[in-house]
Amino acid sequence: MSELEPMRDHWWWRPGWKVGRSFYTWHVTFADQPGAHRLVDGYASALAELPSIDPIPTEWLHLTLQGVGFADEVDRGDLDRIIAAAEKRCSELRPFTVTIGPAHVDPESIQMPARPLEPVANVRLAIRAAIGDVWGHDNVPESADGFRAHVSLGYSNSAGPAEPVADVLHRHTEHMSEVTISSVSLIDLNRDHKAYEWTDVATVRLDGRQP
């Protein structure tokens, strides 16, 4: 095994974040996806051996696509226009299936890649274009480059070597599962309790029909 980058505590307060502040962001969520739930169950015994990892409850599984901004800085009228633009853009796409897994160590998490990347990246591009329709394409938050489609299983709650975490994963069976992505969600996200929790703001289907 090649040398791994040390683990970091994922829960440090990133710039702009504080208790009570939330963030609008577009995610794929998996509450209705049995395949994603099977992955969590499959890796449960491995996560149970890792006190340095906070497992993500099934209800909060997600694939991060594109941030919009802190809720106290985004005008609600702009947000509604972004949602409308996203509905129009995403109506030109169609549902697709990706394979999630197997799990691997990242410096702040255990995560599972989603493949193929292209259809997920196309959804992200549609969301970015929708934001640009409202704010101008030079004002879309976050970089267009470097996107890695993944679903995290748990977050590191302390600093330390990554090798023990990787060793546990290697000793357990690798798991993969197919999920169908047919919609994306705009959510109001907070991290007040060392977990990503959210309320749904809007759901946009990829085929243009109302959810």
List of E strands, 39-149:
53-55, 62-70, 96-100, 104-106, 109-115
Task: Name the nearest CA neighbour of 189 among 95, 86, 64.
Answer: 64
- The pLDDT profile of the chain, 211 residues, written as one tens digit per residue, is 468 999 999 999 999 999 999 999 999 999 889 999 999 999 999 999 999 999 999 999 999 999 999 999 999 999 999 999 999 999 999 999 999 999 999 999 999 999 999 999 999 999 999 999 999 999 999 999 999 999 999 999 999 999 999 999 999 999 999 999 999 999 999 999 999 999 999 999 998 554 4
Side-chain-facing half-sphere of 71: CA atoms under 13 Å: 17
Domains, the chain: 23-205 (3.90.1140.10)
Distance, CA of 39 to CA of 169 (rounded, Å): 13
List of E strands, 10-108:
23-29, 53-55, 62-70, 96-100, 104-106
- Coil, helix or strand at residue 12: coil
Cα 47 to Cα 40, 117, 154, 156, distances in angstroms: 9, 26, 8, 11
Question: Where is 7: in which H helix or E strand?
Answer: none
Task: Name the nearest CA neighbour of 22 among 142, 191, 140.
Answer: 191
pTM: predicted TM-score of the whole model, two decimal places? 0.94
Distance, CA of 63 to CA of 196 (rounded, Å): 12
